[in-house]
Amino acid sequence: MSRSIDRRMRPTAVLGEAIRDVSSGTTRMGVFALIFILLVGLIAAADVNAVAGVVRQVVGFRAAGASVLTLKAEQSVDGQRCSRLMGVGAITGAAALRPGQPVTLAAMPSSPVTGVEATPDLLALLQTIAQPITIDPGTSAGIWLSADVASLLQAQPGDTVPTSAGPVQVAAIYTWPDDGRGRDLGYAMVTPVAADGVFSQCWIETWPLSDTVTNLLNLSVINPNPDNPATINQLNTSLGLQLDGQALLDKRLTAQAGWVAGIAGLLLGFTATRSRRLEIADALHVGITRTALLWQQLLETVIWVTASLIIVAAALLWLVGALGQEPAWAIWLTGLRAVIAAAATTLLGALLGASSAREKNLAHYAKDR
Amino acid sequence: MIEQDNSTGVDVPGGKRAIGSGLAHRFPGTPLLFTDLSFVLCPGETVALVGPSGSGKSTLLSILAGWVKPTAGEVRWEGVARTGWVFQNPHGVPRRTAIDHVALPLLGQHLTRVQADQQAETIMARFSLTEVSDRQFRDLSGGEAQRLMLARAVAANYDLLLVDEPTAQLDMATAATVNAVLANVGNSGSIVVVATHDPHTRDSCDRVINLADHQPASEKARLEIEAQP
Ligand SMILES: Nc1ncnc2c1ncn2[C@@H]1O[C@H](COP(=O)(O)OP(=O)(O)OP(=O)(O)O)[C@@H](O)[C@H]1O
Ligand SMILES: [Mg+2]
């Protein structure tokens, strides 16, 4: 006798079984979600912290002026040529400088301020290497004061201060910390001047660092003086000559976080369904198809993995905010990669665990209990 | 999906049968457990398989399931595609309700949840489980859990159902509640064999196969078996 029985379980019935498993606690969603959150969350948090550290180091390197090269050649730097280096190759900023008249402030006649004349492009460069910097939006012309001078004068951007050369308007106040950088601009008043003419220094900022820029920098020199050749130096040598951000990222302790989280997810997912092998073998024995069971286990796993994913993603978002390192979104996404890898392998592990249960082992599993 | 019979290929009008002829079995290096055993099993009756401990009851069930090949003789299955087991220790999903256990095989037969629950209730009533149908499996007594295993087996609609020592883990009073409903398994359209050494369980069945009657009488029997190809 042949019987015709449709052994396809209805999708609604599969979903119903999954929901009943979750709501009855059969899935043990809380336990597995907690393990996922702690394990994968810690791995991802460690990675976020490491990436933020590398970014902080790179940003710090540039902010300290370590990525600025200074060429010094008395009366031999062409202002136009120097300014035009900006945008060539990896050069993000270029400006020519020369000494100006020392300035005596009415408030402090005994300690004259270094006078510096620079091409206007220096202001853009200062925004990378002299933070915090405040610029008065209303003042197009005017001098730039170092914060040390400004605080003595209690001057704000936009103020007019009396000097030995007459009153001048303050267009910007920049910070020049004593962090190992050259002191030329430390206690100084910078007056922007037209790029026409001869200067004594050319500064360029390059990112990423490149060995070929010194050749470019030499292009700013006209009328080289054989007795007094041009010298090129790093503005701040205290942080070392080189910093390879990509290499630091690749070498970070948590560079393998994605793999580690992925393997953790695989084991966790496998454990979650493998531990229910008796129940799965039983279901196979009463005539449920493997396909229906895999869908059911996948649905149950998706529920707790998704919940965990959202919680970990939110926690990482909070962490990135607390670390305060920009670019926050990029750092967050880096950490999220490990979490997503773990979520995917958890689902895979759950399917593998559910596939490993065999109806034939039923008697064996039953005795195991 | 059309189920294919794994039987001899002969289409038997009128139903399913399991036919054992000249069965004997021994495990490597052990004496014969039983010999010269022949029977025909049909749906509609519950057959008790009895005999002293170690006489090979569980082994014979495994032979009937096709898991173990007998040393001599053969089993022929006609119209038997699916074989189910009920073991002596009931097992289920601790936090799922009793009725969910019975409804599951019905959901696997393409029924909706409502249809499956209705049918499950009908089956459970036959096993005196109506009162506990919404109780979680972990809260069931041993007797209730074992009756639930029988009800679930009925819902699964096996062609051949093998029950091994259903009352071995139960006290007398609880065992009685299981024995009281055992006949209902036999009425379900499956071939049912119950291995037991509980005389009350035996009495609840319609027919008895006693392995004690098939113990090897002499060395002659052993030699005869060995002479076979
Ligand atoms: N796989 C095996 N290999 C070798 N010997 C086995 C194997 N399985 C069972 N036996 C032996 O065969 C004999 C019969 O075992 P079986 O479990 O069939 O007996 P039984 O009648 O079910 O006993 P009980 O009433 O105690 O359940 C026992 O002596 C057992 O040790
Ligand atoms: Mg036995």
* Predicted local confidence at residue B136, as pLDDT: 98
Mapping DSSP to helix (H, G, I), strand (E, B) and coil, where does residue B45 land? coil
Tell me the pLDDT tens digit for each residue of B106-161.
999 999 999 999 999 999 999 999 999 999 999 999 999 999 999 999 999 999 99
* Predicted local confidence at residue A144, as pLDDT: 95
Residues of B in contact with A26 (CB under 8 A): 93-96
- The single-letter DSSP state of residue B136 is B
Q: What are the boundaries of each domain within chain A? A: 13-60+248-368, 67-238
* Predicted local confidence at residue B186, as pLDDT: 83
Confidence tier at A366 by pLDDT (50, 70, 90): low
Tell me the pLDDT tens digit for each residue of A178-217.
999 999 999 999 999 999 999 999 999 998 888 788 888 9
Nearest to B87 by CA among B9, B148, B45: B148
Residues of A in contact with B104 (CB under 8 A): 17, 283, 286, 288
ipTM surpassing 0.85: yes
pTM summary value = 0.82
Tell me the pLDDT tens digit for each residue of A101-156.
888 887 778 888 999 999 999 999 999 999 999 998 877 789 999 999 999 888 89
* Predicted local confidence at residue B228, as pLDDT: 65
Q: Does the pLDDT of residue A1 top 80, yes or no? A: no
First to last CA, chain B: 40
Q: Does the pLDDT of residue A91 top 90, yes or no? A: yes
Mapping DSSP to helix (H, G, I), strand (E, B) and coil, where does residue B22 land? strand
From B34, B58, B64, mutation site for ligand 1 pocket: most ligand atoms within 8 A of C-beta: B58
Tell me the pLDDT tens digit for each residue of A24-78.
999 999 999 999 999 999 999 999 999 999 999 999 999 999 999 999 998 899 9
Question: What average pLDDT does the structure give for chain A?
Answer: 92
Alpha-carbon span B8 to B81, nearest angstrom = 11
Altogether, the residues listed in chain B come to a count of 229
Alpha-carbon span A282 to B85, nearest angstrom = 10
* Predicted local confidence at residue A336, as pLDDT: 96
CA neighbours closer than 13 Å in the CB half-sphere of residue A132: 2
Query: Chain B: nearest CA to A329, how far in angstroms?
Result: 43
Chain B residue with Cα closest to A279: B93
CB contact under 8 A, B109 and A6: yes
Q: Give percent of chain A with pLDDT exceeding 90.
A: 74
Which A residues, 276 through 295, put their C-beta within 8 Å of a C-beta on chain B? 278-279, 282-283, 285-289, 292
Mean pLDDT on A266-288? 96
Q: Please list the ranges in chain B whose pLDDT falls under 50.
A: 1-13, 219-220
Tell me the pLDDT tens digit for each residue of A323-363.
998 899 999 999 999 999 999 999 999 999 999 999 888 87
